[in-house]
Structure 1
Amino acid sequence: MQKQHQKPRPPTSPRSALKTSSKRPNLKKLLRKAHVKPLKPLKQVAALPFRVDAEGRIEILLITSRDTGRWIIPKGWPMSGRKAHQAAEREAFEEAGLKGQIAASPVGRYHYQKRFDHGRAFPCMVRVYPLRVEAQHARWPEQDQRTLRWFPPEEAARLVHEDELQELLADFAVRPVESHG
């Protein structure tokens, strides 16, 4: 019995693995192809939830990551059919139950290494959109998976691990509130 030779498939780039109709990228495909060539940073979006107290002081909400328990801001993958700031706003609701006014332009960005279950890390670039929090829902999708806490910007900056995010949070405190959306 003779085997038929199959026509080789055209190479698929790791970036094409992200072009799916669902919220999450096709991670299996991404991981399978990642060893072929170095990846450009994967793109993510984040909300920077803040509120202003009666004395005009800014507070920033941090949440814990599900896997390591580190302090982070709500973030996730871009979503099909939503603009970047809208996806960031949705992440803030899913991860922290937040609603408010989100800026259409990012206040900055930061880079980090996204670690997956198998231990491999991929570079990610996260665009950060300020979200002036107006309400927090009593129930939200990831309520039982995370801890949430409000911090002054300087303390929030000390608690996160990513250097660029630390700078972004520290700088956020000195900008006029009107510039944050």
Structure 2
Amino acid sequence: MTRLTRIWNELVAPFFRRPRRLQVAALCCRNSETGCEILLITSRGTGRWVIPKGWPMRGRGSAGAALQEAWEEAGVRGRISDTAVGSYVYDKFQKSGLPVPVEVMVYPVEVEELADDFPEAGQRRRLWVSAGEAATLVAEPGLQRILRGLQAEAANHGRVRSSIETPGGPV
């Protein structure tokens, strides 16, 4: 690394970095005969595979906002844990083309119902896959890491149980 590059990276560039914004996401799970399945949806803009996520909502906690996003984007009704299973960071690009660093807190949802009629039904596709397959379909490395962790847990326990628990017991 040249001295000028090092000066730029260590001294100048940090002044141009924006602080991370927060988003919340719902990791929608169901247990099937083959193990834990994860619900992926397509993004509206690019059609890539993602999990339901969005910005925090006034009057709702992070988990509650994540559950609301699961309903609006995927038609999911279920029980959510107040404890995130992890977080990941990605750059969300604004219409201007400038990146905004975002940290996404991921909350597990035990899916109880999957509605056909929901707010964004005509704008997205849904797909149930194993945690391992989900990790290969999503683009964000941090989300891939979380999904691979669920895959490993499912391999050890046969089901993903401990991910959807609250201090009082399973949700």
Q: 1:91 aligned to 2:91?
A: no
- Report the secondary structure of 1:47's partner residue: strand
Which aligned runs of 4 or more in structure 1 are off by greater than 3 angstroms?
none
- The number of equivalent residue pairs is 145
Higher relative contact order by CA 8 Å / sep ≥ 6: 1 or 2? 2
Residue in 1 that maps onto 2:128: 150
CA distance in 1, matches of 2:141, 2:163: 21
- Report the secondary structure of 2:104's partner residue: strand
After superposition, residues 69-148 of structure 1 pair within 5 angstroms as: 69-148=47-126
Identical columns (%): 46
Residue in 1 that maps onto 2:150: 172
CA distance in 1, matches of 2:88, 2:146: 8
The RMSD of aligned alpha carbons is 1.3
CA distance in 2, matches of 1:52, 1:174: 15
- Displacement of 1:180 in angstroms is 2.0
- Report the secondary structure of 1:178's partner residue: coil
Structure with bigger strand share is 2
AA partner of residue 86 (structure 1):
G
Residue in 1 that maps onto 2:25: 46
CA distance in 1, matches of 2:143, 2:17: 24
Residue in 1 that maps onto 2:11: none
- Displacement of 1:37 in angstroms is 5.0
Task: Please tell me whether Structure 1 or Structure 2 has the larger radius of gyration of its CA atoms.
Answer: 1
Describe the superposition over 1:129-174 as per-residue Cα deviations: whole angstroms up to 9, x where unpaired.
0001010112100111111100111110011111111010111122
- Report the secondary structure of 1:179's partner residue: coil
TM-score, length-scaled by structure 2: 0.81
TM-score, length-scaled by structure 1: 0.77
- Displacement of 1:79 in angstroms is 0.4
CA distance in 1, matches of 2:98, 2:126: 28
CA distance in 1, matches of 2:147, 2:141: 10
CA distance in 1, matches of 2:45, 2:94: 10
CA distance in 2, matches of 1:152, 1:138: 21
AA partner of residue 122 (structure 1):
V
- Displacement of 1:115 in angstroms is 1.1
Describe the superposition over 1:80-118 as per-residue Cα deviations: whole angstroms up to 9, x where unpaired.
000000000000000000011101000000011101222
Residue in 2 that maps onto 1:23: none
